[in-house]
Amino acid sequence: MKDIFAGMVPPHVEAISPYIPGKPVDEVERELGITGAIKLASNENPLGPSPKGLLALRGALDGVHFYPDGGGFRLRRALSERLGVTEDEIMLGAGSNDLIDLLVRTFCAPGRDDVLTHRHAFFMYKISCMAAGVTLVESDATAELACDVDALVAGITPRTKLIFLPNPNNPTGSYVPRSDFEKLLEKVPPHVLLVVDEAYHEYALARADYPVAEKYRSKERPLLVTLRTFSKIHGLAGLRVGYGISHPRVVSYLNRVRLPFNVSSVAQDAARAALDDLEHVERSRRATLDGISQLTAGFSALGQRVYPSAANFVLVDVGRDAQPVYQALLRKGVIVRPLRPAGLNEHVRVSVGTALENARAIKAMGEVLG
């Protein structure tokens, strides 16, 4: 019988491997018949959501019969005051993933333009490009799996329209230091959009040589876009709200393509309150730094290579095919992230949890490997 689905979608859509998120706790417990599982797979905040954001969220529920403010005026105003930019330089998205997708669809034409990033960069860049029928070019990474800025620059061609630079990078945790970032800025042609994905930037601010991209945007370099999110340090991952900062002309083009009401009313209110919850941000940052140290020491003591991380997770080389290790950890109720889709077959990513969760993950890993 003829396959009626053959040819139903364009070849570039047929070729997409769907993004597979970290398994939810209840799914693992249901599938394996266990209880008490912990999730260290999706780089979520182990301290939970911002208390101020949670309070605002509850207060906003009475108004969910109204459509949200499609322009996000109050949240953009709060962000503009905090960041020292104008409101028309800010774009809101349903998480920074939404903005990644919008950037590709808005500025890149299939068959004409390429997107450039580096190997082992955030996997969503590839999916967004494939969905839009746009070619993604990946430059070589360093031996430490970090961005090789010289290789990235060498990958720029006349077809390059947009460059994604995750800083820090997910899933490796590495970051591009200030000197390399400034070298990149000197080499990127002025007509190319440089998109710096700073989803984890609050964790990296403790590094003296970490460059905050927005500070480099100027009249001479207007095509610089910074992406950030409320999903990580603010603990609002389930609400899906992120933002971008760029030239008003860039923002206006994105607004032509984005779907109306892409950020819900409750997400906007919670994000606005979370922005002012500086105590929660600082507690989360301290807990993350402590957790990185705990996980690094624990996994290193097991003989595993742990890569330096400026984010809220660590990349661990388990020294063998990571898929059986991942499955064995699942059976012990510890959910981590295998990284075969990122070309890292012997690695897992472990998010920082509470001190007890981190200790449990280290113990389980030792049992699995031992």
Per-residue pLDDT tens digits for 23-73: 788 888 898 898 999 999 999 999 999 999 999 999 999 999 999 999 999
Summary mean pLDDT of the chain: 95
Cα 155 to chain centroid, rounded: 23
Is residue 304 within 8 Å of residue 296, measured between CB atoms? Answer: no
pLDDT at residue 69 in the model = 94
pLDDT for 268 beyond 80: yes
CA dist., res. 309 & res. 296, Å (int) = 9
Helix (H, G, I), strand (E, B) or coil at 260: coil
Confidence of residue 4 (pLDDT cuts 50, 70, 90): confident
pLDDT at residue 142 in the model = 97
* For residues 130-136, average pLDDT: 95
Paired residues of 147 in beta bridges: 141
Tokens of residue 254, six digits: 């994105």
What the chain holds in terms of domains, given with CATH numbers, is: 20-48+279-369 (3.90.1150.10), 52-275 (3.40.640.10)
Helical H runs in 245-308?
Answer: 248-257, 265-275, 278-301
Is residue 281 within 8 Å of residue 230, measured between CB atoms? Answer: no
Is residue 322 within 8 Å of residue 348, measured between CB atoms? Answer: yes
CA dist., res. 93 & res. 258, Å (int) = 9
pLDDT for 361 beyond 90: yes
pLDDT for 155 beyond 80: yes
Global pTM? 0.94
The CA-atom distances, in angstroms, between 128 and each of 16, 97, 104, 131, 135 are: 10, 9, 7, 5, 10
pLDDT for 341 beyond 90: no
* For residues 307-322, average pLDDT: 97
Confidence of residue 7 (pLDDT cuts 50, 70, 90): confident
pLDDT at residue 17 in the model = 75
CA dist., res. 226 & res. 242, Å (int) = 11
Helix (H, G, I), strand (E, B) or coil at 131: helix
Helical H runs in 157-243?
Answer: 178-187, 201-204
Nearest to 101 by CA among 259, 252, 218: 259
